[in-house]
Amino acid sequence: MAKKLQWKRSDKFAFGLWTVMNRGRDPFGPETRPPLSGIEAIRGLGERDVYGFEYHDNDLWPMDATPAKKRSIINEAKRAMKAAGILCTAATTNLFSHPVFKDGAFTSHDPRVRAYAVQKVMANIDVAAELGAEVYIYWGGREGAEVDIGKDPIEAMKRFRDAINFLCEYVMANGYKMVFSLEPKPNEPRSNIYLATAGHALAFIATLDHPEMVGVNPEYAHVKMAGLSPLHEYAQALEAGKLVDIHLNAQEPLRFDQDMSFAADNPKEALLVVKLLTDYGYAGTKAFDCHPYRTEAAPWDFVERNMRAYKLLEAKVEEVNADTRLCAMLEELTVADEGGWNQVLAAYTPKNADKLKVAKFNPEKLAQRTLLYEQIDLRLTELLLGAR
Ligand code: NOJ
Ligand code: MG
């Protein structure tokens, strides 16, 4: 393999433990792979030069573990991390598998369930801090509804907000170095999930007591399930300074949650996401959150394939950015600002408003300008397919 294409720890790739622990079960058939424990998952990822892992509390210890059992698993995880040279980069709570959360966790009607959910998160935040995780994810899988008349969405938002506010204070009170990250998804397992897209999450964050402590980790496939553009979701979060983590994978638009490997469906779209992250120096971890195909006997080809795909696209981004033909055409899209309009539009001042009020534009003439999008897109396709 060309040296450049071999991933290194410094690439900051991460995997959810649950991705390699996934056993291929789907709604129509049982597991096709043998079980893998959380500790084995940490070891296997570390052996493959993966920088970090993300975990749910119950990927590591079962919900009914005794305190002694839980402690021995955490200690073993720490030993495995040290031996394999892998970091814990993000943590999250399983607030969706157990039937107690069947109608939501933070948004449940039952205050006891909401309290139990917050307690479960607090307990895992302590472990996450011990393992060194600096990002704590909330994916509200069960926070939604099928029967909307039975759950007031305004009340649900209030409950969600109270939970996040409470937990922010908990992190601060304990002096943990940790930010929260909301992971949007439009549906599945609920008919409609609250905070369906990055846009919803960003608007919600602005209403929190400590918005500075909360960002988003849009998941590529979740965005496609909503029929939207992963590039635009990542870009908006990045521009807002809120992209604290990313979940990469692939998904045919508007279908059930397929969780395929990164770039499996649409390499051009994936390329533009890698280009965005590269060009704008995204510094967080690049976490893969997908599943090996059900036909795989073990998860390791899947692990390597995701990192290899990212590196291939990264190398392609370098080629795209250096392509003189493409650069020249892109350059032509920009227009010399002879009228000084950029400066006028950058800020409202009475002077700028006056200048704009009296300016004369000729829309017919402006509309005559041609844009080279067909040729630009063709050139990108040529580069992607390796044509000269
Ligand atoms: C499982 C979901 O499928 C995934 O997208 C999410 O990131 C994790 N849970 C975190 O809770
Ligand atoms: Mg995810």
Query: Measuring CA to CA, which residue among 327, 253, 249, 322 is closest to residue 292?
Result: 249
Number of Cβ within 10 Å of residue 382's Cβ equals 14
- The CB of 179 under 6 Å from ligand 1? The reply is no
Contact 237, 245 (CB under 8 A): no
From the centroid of its chain, how far is CA 99? Answer: 26
Could you give the residue numbers annotated as active site?
A: 56, 59
Read off the tokens for 94. 């399983």
Which of 55, 92, 223 to probe ligand 1 with, by most ligand atoms within 8 A of CB?
A: 92
- The CB of 219 under 6 Å from ligand 1? The reply is yes
Collapsing DSSP to helix, strand or coil, 328 comes out as helix
Nearest CA to ligand 1 atom 6: 139
How many angstroms is it from 167 CA to the middle of ligand 1?
A: 19
- In the chain, the amino acid numbered 63 is M
Please identify which residue in the block is written with the tokens 């006997």: 297
Task: Report all structural domains of the chain as residue ranges with CATH numbers, in order of start.
Answer: 9-322 (3.20.20.150), 324-384 (no CATH)
Which of 56, 93, 182, 183 to probe ligand 1 with, by most ligand atoms within 8 A of CB?
A: 183
Query: Measuring CA to CA, which residue among 138, 33, 127 is closest to residue 88?
Result: 127
How many angstroms is it from 18 CA to the middle of ligand 2?
A: 10
Query: Measuring CA to CA, which residue among 93, 84, 24, 85 is closest to residue 58?
Result: 93
Consecutive sets of 10 residues in the chain, 388 residues long: mean pLDDT of each?
85 99 98 98 98 99 98 98 98 98 98 99 99 98 97 98 99 98 98 98 98 98 98 98 98 98 98 98 98 98 98 98 98 96 98 98 97 98 94
pLDDT at 2: 73
Nearest CA to ligand 1 atom 2: 139
As beta bridge partners, residue 145 has 192
- The CB of 137 under 6 Å from ligand 1? The reply is yes
pLDDT tens track for 100-127: 999 999 999 999 999 999 999 999 999 9
Element containing residue 137 per DSSP (H, E): strand 135-139
Distance CA 215, CA 202 (A): 8
pLDDT tens track for 130-166: 999 999 999 999 999 999 999 999 999 999 999 999 9
As beta bridge partners, residue 367 has none
- The CB of 310 under 6 Å from ligand 1? The reply is no
